[in-house]
Amino acid sequence: MIIKGLIKKQISNQYTIIDLETKKEYLAIPSGKLRYVKVDEKSSFNKTYGRSTKKRQQIIQISPKVGDKVLLDISGDTNVIEEILPRNNDLVRPDVANVDQVLLVFSAIKPEFSFNLFDKFLVILKEQKLNIILVVSKIDLIPTDELNKLKEQLQYYEENVGIEVYYVNSKQKIGFDILEHIFTNKITVLAGQTGVGKSTLLNALIPGLDIKTQEISLALGRGKHTTRHSELYEFNDGYICDTPGFSRLDLNIFEKEELKNQYDDFVSISSLCRFSSCNHINEPGCAIKEAVKNNKIPEERYNNYVLFYNEIEDKKNMYWKDMIIWK
């Protein structure tokens, strides 16, 4: 009998899989035939490496990973993963497939909200087709007028970039009631700088989950090369992925001309630029620069765009993505 399941946990070659219909859990191993698979250019398992390598037909080894939807044969003594279904996306660090959304946690203060880092996250996450939800933490520590100013600035992102924004105080669970619904039927990954309160937030959401234990056990591990393991935790009919320790979001870097495509708010205006290939830097008749002048696009967001553009140009071979840290 074959069932359709979701990989919840992986420990070396042993997988925990949830039957998507009955929610029953099975332990399973991957079938040997998954080892070498021929993939064409369009396969979701086919990846490019480096900056401009084109996808080509190749034979690759596919390993099932947390987040994968699989076909599982439960007829024999040992349950066997027969097939991995196409992936919507595939993150490397954390090693999770089919992530629906990223809960980006930024603190209102300590550390101060950084629009530079926020814009950078948006650029990188958008490329992976990840829906982004921003949670602003520590709202109890910031004066009301400063919080209101921040809310005003973030309103632009809600209205023009399609980002949902929530404001929480994890300690007193303020703002949590409206946060809970966002997890339903989705795989959610948490991301943000160190010190913004991700662990506090996660522990407050799922009281049974002891994130600290994992952080300590990782510190006692075999150093840098300790295998990181990702696991999905059921929460409000969805899954939250906890990724212990530091790791980085590993994405292919953009060409500088591609950067503008990651800005939804720019794309909608750029048809008015004089040149269709306008990069919105020094070109005459640029509608984006005009919109900045008329306060339709925040100056800081545009300035960050120019910074990133120059950064890509300056450090062609440097991995820009290394600046993003997941914890």
- Part in contact with Zn ion (CB under 5 A); list of ranges 20-28, 52-60, 73-81, 280-288: 280-288
Report CA-CA distances (Å) from 88 to 110, 130, 311: 35, 10, 29
- Complex with Zn ion: residue 288 or 297, whichever CB lies closer: 288
- Complex with Zn ion: residue 150 or 273, whichever CB lies closer: 273
- Complex with Zn ion: residue 44 or 303, whichever CB lies closer: 303
Does position 278 bind Zn ion by CB under 5 A?
yes
Q: Where are the alpha helices (DSSP H) in 50-163?
A: 115-127, 144-160
> How many residues of this chain bind Zn ion (CB under 5 A)?
5
| Residue 325 to residue 243: CA distance in whole angstroms | 11
> E-strand spans in 138-244?
164-167, 187-191, 231-235, 238-242
Residue in 260, 280, 301, 327 binding Zn ion, rule: CB under 5 A: 280
- Complex with Zn ion: residue 253 or 286, whichever CB lies closer: 286
- Part in contact with Zn ion (CB under 5 A); list of ranges 128-136, 148-156, 179-187, 278-286: 278-286
| Residue 168 to residue 162: CA distance in whole angstroms | 19
Beta bridge partners of 102: 132, 189
Residue listed under structure tokens 């009998």: 1
Q: Per-residue x/- mask for Zn ion, residues 5 to 24, rule CB under 5 A?
A: --------------------
Helix, strand, or coil (residue 69): strand
Does position 142 bind Zn ion by CB under 5 A?
no
| Residue 21 to residue 123: CA distance in whole angstroms | 36
Residue in 66, 286, 291, 297 binding Zn ion, rule: CB under 5 A: 286
Residue in 6, 70, 163, 273 binding Zn ion, rule: CB under 5 A: 273
Residue 206 CB, nearest approach to Zn ion (Å): 45
- Complex with Zn ion: residue 70 or 278, whichever CB lies closer: 278
Helix, strand, or coil (residue 174): strand
Does position 292 bind Zn ion by CB under 5 A?
no
